[in-house]
Structure 1
Amino acid sequence: MAWQARGGGRGEILLLLHPVGEEPGGGLCPALADRWAGCSAFSGLIYEIGPLFFYFHGYKGGLPTLLYKADSWTKISSVIFVDSPPGTGFSYATRAQGLNSSDAIVVHQLYTFIQKWFDDHPQFFSNPLYIYFCGIIIPTLTMEIAKGKESSDERHLNLKGYIAGNPLTDTTHDDNSKFPFLHSLGIIDDELYEVARKNCKGDYMTPPNSQCANSVQAIRDCIRDVNDLHILEPRCEEDGISLVSDNSASSHDRRTKLLESAVSSICRNATYVLSKIWANDEAVRESLGIHKGTVTTWERCNHDLLYKKQIVSSVEYHLSLITQGYRGLVYSGDHDSVVSLIGTQGWLRSLNLSITHGWRPWYVNSQVVGYFCKMPSLPWGPP
């Protein structure tokens, strides 16, 4: 499905959406793209919270097979996965200006999209609405929806809150928490870290003096080959495309390279290559209703977007939403050094909220799977 709107001099803007679990009885959770601007929401649908996955080890060439995944958020909620901003996934603009994007433009486009979507699907009006995932954009967008509820907007969306996973929130807290986080896990040794801490005084991203700069460089040299997104996993090529793009080899040989390579056995992103094969299949494009000539080649992530980052911190939006009574769920993986739990803890503490439930484990099948604490309207913890 696609949503289309006119953007004045920006031409027509089309955002591709993948609604899953379209039953009016459950909650509605627009999952707005991936954590990184330019990554298709299809990645979230297949590789994260959606009900489908690619049958990687059974791949024999041709169109990859999609299988059902039982552990999906769509079992309890209707989820909309949106490719945003234009230029992401199959979304596009009819004029070049439409591909120039920014935080403010994206928030406006997504708010307009949500309004139009509910106009077309009024049976969902009564559903509790939660906005999910992108750290900077999500609380900002949620605030816009909250403002709309207080205005003369007749839609009266049943906004309940938002969900933020490993959310990029505040550059001061998030960026400068990387070294303390890696030190806490034993990746940076005590002596090296203490010298950096003393010289930098917490500002590792913009070193205030040469001693700090030297310490930061020494640490970066030490951690350069660590997988930032999961420090226990190997650092791998993004998609492994080269393994299957060698035209000099037969399809069987290319498949063998893919499945027998070190990438396939130890890298979770090995299956990303299948999404590119699948999404660029002509039959798939036709079934999705993709307009011919709009997107020549689908990429899981577009790293060439013309995107202006404007919001340095979204902490004030979190605080405003919470004080207005909206619910928030913030969760952090405990091996992600890009947006580490230490940084998330830092900005959460800056809200000066009382703790209603202290730090404690939570269980699945009698096993500890994470820890959480609860503030007014805001539970948080690493899964």
Structure 2
Amino acid sequence: MYWLLIFIVIICFHVSTSTLTSNSSAGRVKYLPGFQGPLPFYLETGYVGVGENEDVQLFYYFIQSESDPDNDPVMLWLSGGPGCSSISGLLFEIGPIEFGDEHYNGSLPTLVSRPNSWTKMASIIFLDLPVGTGFSYARTARASYSTDNQLCDHAYEFMRKWFESHPEFVSNPFYLGGDSYAGLPVTMITSLISDGNEVGNKPYINLKGYVLGNPLTFPEEDNYAIRFANGMGLISDELYKSLFHTCHGEYRLEYINTSNIECCQNLELYQKCIYGIQRANVLEPYCGDHEQFLFLPTQKLPKEQQYLSTSECRVIDTYELVYYWIPEAMLALHIRKVCIFLVYRIISLLTHATTTQGTVTEWKRCNHNLNYTITVYDVKPYHQKLSMKGYRSLIYSGDHDMIIPHQSTLAWVKDLNYSVIDQWRSWKHNGQIAGYTESYSNMMTFATVKGGGHTAPEYKPEECLVMFKRWISYQPL
């Protein structure tokens, strides 16, 4: 087996010297490990170089609409974090494939078609962003550092170059989408594209609007977790009232005066009440803070309280499957660093180590150790600006998400102060209430997804598909 390791190292040298000379590359993927037969949709993966000297190499998955790709909308999708690979959106939320639901037995995970994919009516580009996320990488140490603003610049440059290499899609309606932390950059990127169109940047991008799920938007968002907890019966009315009066409506730890003993005591009682609650979806078994999309200050628990064992954990039973699948899929996905992973794979086989040993070192679904600086904390002004320009927007929230509660999202939507044109009402699917919605004169639609968590399509895929299909087709929910 050692001779095989040496052979792959030699092959890697030749592959790296040939592939890394190209700053842009793309190729169709017809087969994926774990999926039986050829893919029933068009999948393309590739890299696009952006930034100074194109030292940032962004990796993407592009899936053509399964209906009418010549005319259907094109959407750029970003996952949250920052640092969560767009494979999260592809495999766990809105893409056309997902892992099978059988119990994992140590072999290659099985992939199956997802009947509720948003690619049924839109072409979607799933982009690994910022640099250091997923398979996107930097060619220099300097390029490995980024900020919110650089992320947005990179995304805009990516889209212009992508449309230049895919001119057949440049006239299609274009939307941006994302969830969780992506609520910040998606709004800013939409504004960048709009400004670029106005000054005559080429190619002209046929921008129509944006879609945001459970989006981070403004600093006061986590204050609403207290209100959510009370509304869900997780804390008593008495504690809620006491918290409000003693903390004066501010529950973020960094803004609380430690001399306010009553507030601190009430917050301690609050933390005890919510201990054991899975904040991504309060209805699900508690799995600790492992692989959460977003960590908010008031929601952190002591280390010794971060994990509880459970036999029904979405994190363990679903998310971790991707770590077993990725090493087998990288050749098919045209990953440039595939040789590094192959070496780790062989070493793990030689040493009888687990298959995730090397992959965790090189690839993480959510990389929370990025060289990344948060520079923007409030994008409400961007929403206001885009509203004034008449862009459409769909803002939706799983109503059982405690990470970014739907009350906080509705609060900033209301704060934009546009008149209501379709008052608060239920929206239905198959004769059942699927959530509640309200629409405004700025062409913004807010919707809750009943029973959804963080993020909603993971928990209610069929309902979210119906919601998206109606909205993208200009129909009322």
Structures share a fold, TM > 0.5?
yes
Determine the C-alpha separation between the residues in 1 that align with 2:340 and 2:207. 34
Determine the C-alpha separation between the residues in 2 that align with 1:235 and 1:365. 31
Letter in 1 for 2:171: S
3-state SS of the aligned residue for 1:14?
Answer: strand
Determine the C-alpha separation between the residues in 2 that align with 1:194 and 1:58. 45
Is residue 231 from structure 1 mapped to residue 282 from structure 2 by the alignment? yes
Write out aligned runs for 1:297-308 (5 A). 297-308=362-373
Q: Which residue of the partner structure matches residue 177 of structure 1?
A: 224
CA offset at residue 129 of structure 1?
0.6
CA offset at residue 80 of structure 1?
0.6
- Residues 6 and 116 from structure 1, CA distance in 2 versus in 1: closer, same or farther, beyond 3 angstroms? closer
CA offset at residue 226 of structure 1?
1.2
Q: Which residue of the partner structure matches residue 371 of structure 1?
A: 436
Is residue 186 from structure 1 mapped to residue 233 from structure 2 by the alignment? yes
3-state SS of the aligned residue for 2:194?
Answer: helix
Q: Cα deviation per residue 1:18-64 (whole Å; 9 max; x = unaligned)?
A: 111252221011101x2221111101101101110112416443322
Letter in 1 for 2:444: L
CA offset at residue 15 of structure 1?
1.3
The one of 162, 173, 176 equivalent to 1:117 is 162
The one of 290, 294, 313 equivalent to 2:335 is 290
- Say whether the 8 Å CA contact 2:209–2:391 is kept in structure 1: yes
Determine the C-alpha separation between the residues in 2 that align with 1:357 and 1:4. 42
Is residue 27 from structure 1 mapped to residue 78 from structure 2 by the alignment? no
Is residue 2 from structure 1 mapped to residue 46 from structure 2 by the alignment? yes
Is residue 276 from structure 1 mapped to residue 323 from structure 2 by the alignment? yes
Determine the C-alpha separation between the residues in 2 that align with 1:334 and 1:367. 16
Is residue 156 from structure 1 mapped to residue 156 from structure 2 by the alignment? no
Q: Which residue of the partner structure matches residue 316 of structure 1?
A: 381
- Say whether the 8 Å CA contact 2:58–2:136 is kept in structure 1: yes
Report the aligned-residue RMSD: 1.9
Is residue 76 from structure 1 mapped to residue 141 from structure 2 by the alignment? no
CA offset at residue 108 of structure 1?
0.5
Q: Cα deviation per residue 1:196-218 (whole Å; 9 max; x = unaligned)?
A: 10011111102243322222222
CA offset at residue 269 of structure 1?
5.0
Determine the C-alpha separation between the residues in 2 that align with 1:88 and 1:280. 16
Determine the C-alpha separation between the residues in 2 that align with 1:194 and 1:273. 40
Is residue 54 from structure 1 mapped to residue 119 from structure 2 by the alignment? no
- Residues 197 and 343 from structure 1, CA distance in 2 versus in 1: closer, same or farther, beyond 3 angstroms? same
Determine the C-alpha separation between the residues in 2 that align with 1:136 and 1:104. 10
3-state SS of the aligned residue for 1:356?
Answer: strand
Q: Cα deviation per residue 1:243-277 (whole Å; 9 max; x = unaligned)?
A: xxxxxxxxxxxxxxxxxxx7554536521121111
Determine the C-alpha separation between the residues in 1 that align with 2:60 and 2:316. 23
Q: Which residue of the partner structure matches residue 267 of structure 1?
A: 314
- Say whether the 8 Å CA contact 1:230–1:337 is kept in structure 2: yes
- Residues 155 and 109 from structure 1, CA distance in 2 versus in 1: closer, same or farther, beyond 3 angstroms? same
Determine the C-alpha separation between the residues in 2 that align with 1:349 and 1:6. 37
Q: Cα deviation per residue 1:63-100 (whole Å; 9 max; x = unaligned)?
A: 22211111110000000100111111111111122221
Q: Which residue of the partner structure matches residue 252 of structure 1?
A: none
3-state SS of the aligned residue for 1:113?
Answer: helix
3-state SS of the aligned residue for 2:413?
Answer: helix
Determine the C-alpha separation between the residues in 1 that align with 2:315 and 2:426. 27
Runs (5+) with no aligned partner, structure 1: 240-261
Determine the C-alpha separation between the residues in 1 that align with 2:130 and 2:317. 25
Determine the C-alpha separation between the residues in 2 that align with 1:294 and 1:160. 41
Determine the C-alpha separation between the residues in 2 that align with 1:69 and 1:165. 19
CA offset at residue 4 of structure 1?
2.9
Larger mean CA deviation between 121-130 and 50-59 belongs to 50-59
CA offset at residue 165 of structure 1?
0.4
Determine the C-alpha separation between the residues in 2 that align with 1:317 and 1:210. 38
Q: Which residue of the partner structure matches residue 92 of structure 1?
A: 137
Runs (5+) with no aligned partner, structure 2: 1-44, 292-308, 342-360, 450-477
Q: Which residue of the partner structure matches residue 338 of structure 1?
A: 403
Determine the C-alpha separation between the residues in 2 that align with 1:101 and 1:299. 18
Q: Which residue of the partner structure matches residue 17 of structure 1?
A: 60
Structure 1 stretches of 4+ moved >6 Å: none
Letter in 1 for 2:125: I
Percentage identity across aligned positions? 36
CA offset at residue 152 of structure 1?
2.0
3-state SS of the aligned residue for 1:278?
Answer: helix
- Residues 269 and 45 from structure 1, CA distance in 2 versus in 1: closer, same or farther, beyond 3 angstroms? farther
Is residue 195 from structure 1 mapped to residue 242 from structure 2 by the alignment? yes
Determine the C-alpha separation between the residues in 2 that align with 1:66 and 1:267. 17
Determine the C-alpha separation between the residues in 1 that align with 2:322 and 2:411. 36
Q: Cα deviation per residue 1:359-379 (whole Å; 9 max; x = unaligned)?
A: 111111111111101102011
CA offset at residue 328 of structure 1?
0.6
Larger mean CA deviation between 294-303 and 109-118 belongs to 294-303
Q: Which residue of the partner structure matches residue 210 of structure 1?
A: 261
Count of residues paired in the alignment: 357
Determine the C-alpha separation between the residues in 1 that align with 2:104 and 2:113. 16
Q: Which residue of the partner structure matches residue 11 of structure 2?
A: none
